[in-house]
Amino acid sequence: MARLIVQPLSRPLSGSVPVPADKSISHRAVIMAALTHGCSELAGFSYGEDNVATQRAFSQMGVRIEDDAHGTLRVHGVGLAGLTAPADAIDCGNSGTTMRLLAGVLAGQPFASRLVGDASLTRRPMTRIVQPLGQRGAVISGTPRGGDGGEVTAPLSVGPLPAGRRLDPLEYQLPVASAQVKSALLLSGLWASGPTLLREPLVSRDHTERMLSALGLLIETAGPIVKLHPPADPLSIDPFSIELPGDLSAAAFVLAAGLLCEGAVVTTRATGVNPTRSGFIDIVRRLGGELSIAPRGESLGEPRAEITARHSGLRGQSVGGELALRAIDEIPICAALAARATGVTRFFDVAELRVKESDRIAAIVALLQAFGVDASEHEDGFSVEGRPGGRLRAAQVDSRGDHRIAMTATVLGLFADGPTVVDDAGCIATSFPRFAGTLRALGAEVEVEP
Ligand code: S3P
């Protein structure tokens, strides 16, 4: 398994770099392109393993996808009634988004399918989609996880819906704000006999709503309430073109390295800044960090900007509520910023981190402690006592198979007093295959050992 060797920075980071396409939007673009009645073009696809898992799933269901291997996919959509039964189980790898969104799509199909994943995905909670999809008449079951209150996980068995049967309309209150659950239910609503009406405790990322609306589907949102009307005709969704924005969740690692490095000026190009997703920017500014944002247009309802980070002195703050939700995937790298801030930073309302690719609350606290930073867990978050002066203690750490923990460790290693080793770093390829090369392009010394 690959490991990264990270040397302490010997000069200021500087430069302007591209970041991989937004992972959330890429999943949705592949799914919706497959359901149109013609050929859609996706530009800027970045071949992170999670997105490739979604791409492969649709190939298994009879969707022809031409890939120029330089980031342009031409997806030959088959309409809402054209998917065909996959010959084998669909392997979602490490990708929770693939599994949950596909479950929504498969729930409406007249064929049977099975969704499987890697060891981490096979521990993650799936009752959150199995229960409401079942409520609207889907034939779906998970695998009992054992121990905790009847929770089910992967593998999932889905369908078939009996011939001529559609899913029922649904009114559902989500117990936790989750874009994956919301999107699974909205997607299943494309095969329903009536509307899908959802209410979330807080507004989670709205990429699905934006895309469905840009494609002409009848979808209304009012704060945390969203309502989708199913299209009458299975060939009603027109093909489209999208320039996928860069992923703010990937950019955050690069920008954080810039914020922490004396003399640094670091820019990420064409980065997605959807406001339901841009909590990282607001958290950085709350900590006193300097980020400048230059708008760069939008594609299919998703805004992009060039983001520049400059070295900044940071102060500890509290981060919770909707701000934390809008940065849920960036909390690990925000913890690295907190590790270099003056005073204490408390992250709360982030219990969902316990059911991500790893228990990220436990993983972050262990990681910070390995670098000599005081950190402690709470039930719904953690606290960090910053160490703004001097260098961190160089460490040898394990990623726990979690890409965002591996990348957070790498950024911390740039500010350590000797070489840092990040074991089990191959997982970085799930979201940011060129991470080490991107840091090198900015002046860091990061080597990949196979
Ligand atoms: C995602 C939603 C979030 C996020 C995940 C991607 C999406 O998960 O953590 O990385 O694309 O919908 P939840 O919706 O489960 O919080």
For residue 180 and ligand 1, the question of a CB distance below 6 A is answered with: yes
Closest-CA residue, ligand 1 atom 11, reads 24
| Section 53-78 average pLDDT | 98
The verdict on 229 and 332 lying in the same domain is: no
Q: What is the pLDDT of residues 70-91, one digit of tens each?
A: 999 999 999 999 999 999 999 9
Question: Domain holding 74: CATH number?
Answer: 3.65.10.10
- Ligand 1 centroid, distance to 418 Cα (angstroms): 35
pLDDT of residue 136: 98
- Ligand 1 centroid, distance to 351 Cα (angstroms): 14
pLDDT of residue 101: 98
The verdict on 321 and 204 lying in the same domain is: no
Of 244, 247, 255, give the one whose Cα is nearest residue 283.
255
Closest-CA residue, ligand 1 atom 4, reads 329
For residue 410 and ligand 1, the question of a CB distance below 6 A is answered with: no
The verdict on 412 and 265 lying in the same domain is: yes
Q: Point out the ligand 1 atom lying closest to the alpha carbon of residue 356.
A: 9
The verdict on 205 and 281 lying in the same domain is: no
Strand partners, 199: 173, 225
In order, the DSSP letters of 309-349 are EE----B--EE-HHHHHTTGGGHHHHHHHHHTSBSEEEE-S
Q: At what angle do helices 248-260 and 279-286 cross, to 10 degrees?
A: 20
The verdict on 373 and 259 lying in the same domain is: yes
The answer for residues whose C-beta is within 8 angstroms of residue 13's C-beta and 6 or more apart is 257, 258, 261, 264, 266, 439, 442, 443, 444
Query: Do 124 and 153 touch, CB atoms closer than 8 A?
Result: yes
Q: HSE on the CB side for 343, CA within 13 Å?
A: 10
Tokens read off for 232:
């009458």
The verdict on 64 and 98 lying in the same domain is: yes
The answer for residues whose C-beta is within 8 angstroms of residue 372's C-beta and 6 or more apart is 387, 392, 393, 395
Q: What is the pLDDT of residues 315-347, one digit of tens each?
A: 999 999 999 999 999 999 999 999 999 999 999
The verdict on 256 and 142 lying in the same domain is: no
The answer for residues whose C-beta is within 8 angstroms of residue 432's C-beta and 6 or more apart is 19, 20, 48, 247, 250, 253, 403, 407, 438
| Section 419-427 average pLDDT | 98
Closest-CA residue, ligand 1 atom 13, reads 178
Q: Is the pLDDT of residue 26 over 90?
A: yes
For residue 40 and ligand 1, the question of a CB distance below 6 A is answered with: no
292 pLDDT tier (thresholds 50, 70, 90): very high
Tokens read off for 367:
């990681």
Q: Is the pLDDT of residue 10 over 90?
A: yes
- Ligand 1 centroid, distance to 162 Cα (angstroms): 31
Residue 329 annotated as catalytic: yes
CA gap 192, 198 in Å, rounded: 14
Which one of 206, 329, 398, 424 is the catalytic residue?
329
- For residue 412, what is the DSSP state? H
| Section 32-42 average pLDDT | 98
412 pLDDT tier (thresholds 50, 70, 90): very high
For residue 306 and ligand 1, the question of a CB distance below 6 A is answered with: no
Q: Point out the ligand 1 atom lying closest to the alpha carbon of residue 178.
A: 14
For residue 98 and ligand 1, the question of a CB distance below 6 A is answered with: no
- Ligand 1 centroid, distance to 287 Cα (angstroms): 24
pLDDT of residue 147: 78
pLDDT of residue 279: 98
The answer for residues whose C-beta is within 8 angstroms of residue 434's C-beta and 6 or more apart is 20
The verdict on 165 and 292 lying in the same domain is: no
pLDDT of residue 220: 98
CA gap 9, 189 in Å, rounded: 51
Substitution site in 22, 30, 97 for ligand 1 pocket (most atoms within 8 Å of beta carbon): 97
Query: Do 409 and 367 touch, CB atoms closer than 8 A?
Result: yes
Average pLDDT, the chain: 97
Please state, in angstroms and as integers, the Cα–Cα distance from residue 9 to each residue in 4, 100, 364, 444, 446, following that order. Answer: 15, 40, 22, 6, 10
CA gap 93, 115 in Å, rounded: 10
What is the share, in percent, of the chain residues with pLDDT greater than 70? Answer: 100
Backbone angles phi, psi at 49, to 5 degrees: -60, -35
The verdict on 220 and 311 lying in the same domain is: no
- Ligand 1 centroid, distance to 100 Cα (angstroms): 10
Q: Is the pLDDT of residue 277 over 90?
A: yes
pLDDT of residue 199: 98
pLDDT of residue 149: 82
| Section 364-379 average pLDDT | 98
CA gap 230, 365 in Å, rounded: 45
The verdict on 238 and 267 lying in the same domain is: no
Q: What is the pLDDT of residues 94-121, one digit of tens each?
A: 999 999 999 999 999 999 999 999 999 9
For residue 24 and ligand 1, the question of a CB distance below 6 A is answered with: yes
| Section 271-298 average pLDDT | 98
Q: What is the pLDDT of residues 190-229, one digit of tens each?
A: 999 999 999 999 999 999 999 999 999 999 999 999 999 9
Tokens read off for 174:
């989500």
For residue 116, give its domain range.
Answer: 23-243
Instruction: Give me the sign of the Cα torsion angle 403, 406, 410, 412.
Output: positive
Q: Is the pLDDT of residue 407 over 90?
A: yes
The domain total for the chain is 2
Substitution site in 54, 126, 187, 205 for ligand 1 pocket (most atoms within 8 Å of beta carbon): 205
1 pLDDT tier (thresholds 50, 70, 90): confident
- Final residue of a structural domain among 219, 243, 267: 243
Q: Point out the ligand 1 atom lying closest to the alpha carbon of residue 204.
A: 14
Q: Is the pLDDT of residue 185 over 90?
A: yes
Q: Point out the ligand 1 atom lying closest to the alpha carbon of residue 183.
A: 12
- Which SS3 state, helix, strand or coil, does residue 256 take? helix
- Final residue of a structural domain among 243, 262, 289: 243
The verdict on 13 and 40 lying in the same domain is: no
Q: HSE on the CB side for 123, CA within 13 Å?
A: 9
Q: Is the pLDDT of residue 148 over 80?
A: no
The verdict on 426 and 325 lying in the same domain is: yes
